[in-house]
Amino acid sequence: MVRRIIHVAVLGACLAAALALAGSATASPSTPQLAPLPFYIPADQQINWSASALDPDGLPGLTSYQFQLVDVTAGGASTKTFRPWTLPTTAKLDALFPNVTELHEYVLCVSTVEVTTSYDVLFSYRTCAHFKVMFSIGDLRRLLDKYVSLNPDPGCIVCGPDLGRYVRDPEIVARINAGLSREPAPITGIAIDARGGAAIVTG
């Protein structure tokens, strides 16, 4: 009876070891981690993520990162693209998704799709980032033109005599109006010097 109990215990230990080995052979690749992004980004924002660790039988040449871009502004329309695992873990947003639209809000997710030597396809968990695509800060003229097209009224509630309408103290109004100077020529653009300083161009 004792010998039979020992035999059953040995069989149970062998079965547990076999299951552990089977489980390790089919483990998913590790989850790639998206680097933090600010909420407002340009379309050419550099996207970075950590490399996913593959299983011992994973095939790097057949494995890739899967990116999914959900356009929140467009009602949740979704687009997917793949990038080979062997390439650097960095790419520009508009290189991954050429049709990315400025002024749209998005959710971007990345996961790993691993192919093994037995041609099993394994998926990692995914990480996501939420952001809104804005005009590039380097394209100030385009931003200015966009503002003018949306608000062609030359009036300005934060400058010139209009400011006096929002201040009740007569003495403060007098000081504001005395210190105001308005360039009569229209704004034609913005000039940026080598140090990154910006100046309004009129004429």
Q: What is d(CA 48, CA 52) in angstroms, rounded to the nearest whole number? A: 12
- Whether the CB-CB separation of 120 and 25 falls below 8 Å is answered with no
pLDDT category at 27 given cuts 50, 70, 90 is confident
pLDDT category at 135 given cuts 50, 70, 90 is confident
- Digit-coded pLDDT (tens) for 80-134: 999 999 999 999 999 999 999 999 999 999 999 999 999 999 999 999 999 999 9
Q: What is d(CA 174, CA 180) in angstroms, rounded to the nearest whole number? A: 10
Both tokens of 156, joined, read 């300005």
Secondary structure element (H or E) that encloses residue 11, with its range: helix 2-25
- Digit-coded pLDDT (tens) for 156-166: 544 545 555 55
> Coil, helix or strand for 140?
helix
Q: Which residue has the higher pLDDT, 9 or 83?
A: 83
Domain ranges of the chain: 27-134, 140-202
Say which residue the tokens 């999914």 belong to.
Answer: 68
Q: Note the pTM of the prediction, 2 decimals.
A: 0.59
Q: What is d(CA 130, CA 73) in angstroms, rounded to the nearest whole number? A: 12
Q: Is the pLDDT of residue 181 over 80?
A: no
CA distance to 1, 6, 10, 168, 178, per residue, from 13 (Å): 19, 11, 5, 86, 91
Both tokens of 168, joined, read 């009740």
Q: Which residue has the higher pLDDT, 54 or 11?
A: 54
Q: Which residue has the higher pLDDT, 134 or 200?
A: 134
Q: Where are the alpha helices (DSSP H) in 63-161?
A: 93-96, 140-150
| Long-range Cβ contacts of 41-44 (<8 Å, 24+ apart) | 41/93, 41/131, 41/132, 41/133, 41/134, 42/133, 42/134, 42/135, 42/136, 42/137, 43/93, 43/94, 43/100, 43/102, 43/133, 43/136, 44/92, 44/93, 44/94, 44/136
Q: Which residue has the higher pLDDT, 79 or 184?
A: 79
Q: Is the pLDDT of residue 44 over 60?
A: yes
The architecture in CATH of the region 27-134 reads: Sandwich (2.60)
